[in-house]
Amino acid sequence: MRSSLGAMSETIRRSVFFWSLVISTGLPGWAQQPKLPPPPATRRDDVKEVVQGVEITDPYRWLEDQDSKETRAWIDAQNRYTHAILDSWPGREALQRRLTELMKIESIGPPQERNGRYFYAKRLPDQDLFVSYVKKGPEGKEEVLIDPHPLSPDHTTSAAISEISQDGTLVAWGIRRGGEDEVTLKFRNVDTLRDLPDELPKARYFGGALKPDKSGFYYARMNAEGPRVYYHTLGTDSAKDTEIFGKGYGLDKIIDVALSDGGRYLVITVEHGAAADQTEIYYQDVAAHGPIKSVVNDVPARFFGEVGGDRLYLHTNWKAPKGRILAVDLMNPAREHWQEVVPECGSAIESLTLAGGKVLVNYLENASSRLKVFDEAGKYLRDVSLPSLGSAVVVARWSSGEAFYGFSSFVTPLAIYRYEMASGKQDLWARVKVPIDSNQFEVKQVWYESKDKTRVPMFLVHRKGLKLDGASPALLTGYGGFNISETPSFSAAAALWVEEGGVYAEPSLRGGGEFGEAWHRAGMLGNKQNVFDDFIAAAEWLIQNRYTSPAKLAIEGTSNGGLLVGAALTQRPDLFRAVVCGYPLLDMLRYQKFLVARFWVSEYGSADNPEQFKYLYAYSPYHHVQPGKKYPAVILFSGDADTRVAPLHARKMTALLQASTWTDGLVLLRYETKAGHSGGLPVTKQIEEQTDVLGFLLWQLNVSFTSPGRSASVADLAPPSLSGSTSFVGLQG
């Protein structure tokens, strides 16, 4: 689940893990394999309990204990079973070679400028992990700042810059083990490349900011009792850090902290759950040693703010479901003095960025980005000229005259542009090459009716001149939750799926933010079934319009998208041939009891509430698997290091499906002991994973192999992350 802590984090997610899996290059002979052996036997318990007056059977609750010897033995047996099947497939080596061509390439992310220095992350073709670099000036020499490769022999420990001092001489950087959300924070002198003695212990951090004079560091961290804001004086023991905000907030809240450009104002944001359907904003005049004051804490709406000068600009849906921008004078912040600088219009506002003394607003027009520049009073100045319909992510500062934005679409790989705020002039800053030709692709947006007659848009990507005979393999993916917008984004692997004759389909499901808060609320809490209906209707539309057929249709989703495909699997198994379900939520009656799931109760509800129990129980995938039912082939993936969505969901669902599925059904679990929700695997390990999961899809859809790879044409590849680095973690599923 993507971060609600900023526009960049919100754009990054988009099921990045799986998008790089999908290449339609079948391997001959797979469909003719002999009957497969049965999966490992799994002990079944007769665990029964009464929840809200309903008797619930949970035969695999013992698999919730991740560290028990029995569970560990079960995981090992499942991995042996999965790899015994996947490793024996013919053509595996050719598939892995092609994936290596696509993934072992140079990747780069947008830079952050501080005092004439440019900080960014880049990975070279022969490297496993992103390395942080700094340049002194746009044309300066590239210098390595942080190289994570020596931190672990297997390259499962990554590192990234989290915060940069305003003079560009000090960075806070995080060390992440595997895919855990938790990081350890350290501080590095940019000139000497040496770390300070200071270290903040491994924890879940939400935000942080270095003071301009580098004397201290503000940060927000989750504790056992809830989130808190601290101040760390550099050069002192972090155990003695001062708590300055957060007392009384529980584990269902998220607190973010940031300093204004220039360091005068500290801004604290309290989010009521990961979807932030209500937020509180506080500020402190640090320069004047003033008290922490409230801007808003009593309105059931979403507010996110950035400071420009002495004004706090608020992106909010208060009295504006599609969003508007308000300005608050921090010298006189009473609500009656707030000013509307950018009013609500027909398109939803995705994000707000302050840049060069101006207000840059990212709108969504039918799920595609459109950037508009306003002056500080809200006067429209110009549109930013984007290459085409697609997704844009902006990196900028109030005091800097330049901004950087990354842009990509389904057929336009990510390119990073430098934009001059005063003139509107822009030029290309960086892009990456990969051997693939996307000129043959066609992108269209169609509209279809969901079960309740709501019109839902869907992007389709396929080869030009596609024959609509129902014979094409199709991959349908979606998310539908947490106000997250699914916008066009490039993937070389998805492009190859299309190049080989496949159809890639991405609907803008309710629950997302593509059309504002009303669209989000239509897919949350008691309306969650609308999301599943939208997804199922998309599959039916593809079949009815002969883009594909049930025998050629696969679905994929991760995290909240894993819940989506789990519900589609159990509600309409007849529509699909193969299902890929990653890092999923599946037991919706117990999900809120584990890890950080309290953050999601405002989005899903909780079985502890009698009324919410009713609709959760009505769709909870784990509770709707029927013995003897003919289900599609399923592969689930998760890992020990997922500290966001508890991997127990994937373990329990695997056991239940294996015990319940029809005679010829196939249910596999691919389980990493060093992987988690936030990635963290080296590229070589990612290639192994993707070979396994992609091979599963190709086998099940019986796609003919046409080419092990292409090198004649070269296009550009979007890097795995639009930011190129990880700041503080997001907390949606």
Q: Provide the 10 A C-beta neighbour count for residue 465.
A: 7
The single residue of 472, 606, 677, 723 carrying the catalytic annotation is 677
For residue 679, what is the DSSP state?
A: B
Residue type at position 274: A
Assess contact for 483 and 323: CB atoms under 8 A: no
- Coil, helix or strand at residue 212: coil
Assess contact for 166 and 114: CB atoms under 8 A: yes
Measuring CA to CA, which residue among 467, 487, 452, 440 is closest to residue 545? 467
The single residue of 107, 400, 559, 727 carrying the catalytic annotation is 559
d(CA 669, CA 637): 6
Measuring CA to CA, which residue among 471, 472, 456, 562 is closest to residue 13? 562
Active site residue 677: yes
Using the structure block, give the residue that is written with the tokens 């010897």. 69
Residue ranges with strand state E in 334-379: 339-342, 348-355, 358-365, 368-374
Assess contact for 46 and 59: CB atoms under 8 A: yes
Residue ranges with strand state E in 127-179: 131-136, 142-146, 157-164, 170-177
Assess contact for 215 and 233: CB atoms under 8 A: yes
Q: State the DSSP string of 296-317.
A: E-S-SS-EEEEEETTEEEEEE-
d(CA 595, CA 231): 26
Q: Provide the 10 A C-beta neighbour count for residue 131.
A: 18
Two structure tokens written together for 44: 């079944």
> Reduced to 3 DSSP states, what percent helix, strand and coil does the chain have, rounded to the nearest 5?
20, 35, 45
Measuring CA to CA, which residue among 368, 366, 369, 332 is closest to residue 353? 369
d(CA 718, CA 724): 10
d(CA 671, CA 380): 51
Two structure tokens written together for 80: 């042996």
| Helices 92-103, 683-701: inter-axial angle, 10-degree rounding | 130
Two structure tokens written together for 89: 């497939």
CA 175 to chain centre: 19
Residues 6+ apart with CB under 8 A from 379: none
Tell whether the torsion through CA atoms of 317, 319, 323 and 325 is positive or negative.
negative
- Coil, helix or strand at residue 696: helix
d(CA 702, CA 719): 30
Active site residue 149: no
CA 528 to chain centre: 20
For residue 132, what is the DSSP state?
A: E
Two structure tokens written together for 68: 């028990």
As to burial, measured by CB atoms within 10 angstroms (0-12 exposed, 13-18 middle, 19+ buried), residue 79 is middle
Tell whether the torsion through CA atoms of 707, 709, 713 and 718 is positive or negative.
positive
**H or E element in which residue 79 lies:** helix 69-86
What positions carry a catalytic annotation? 559, 677
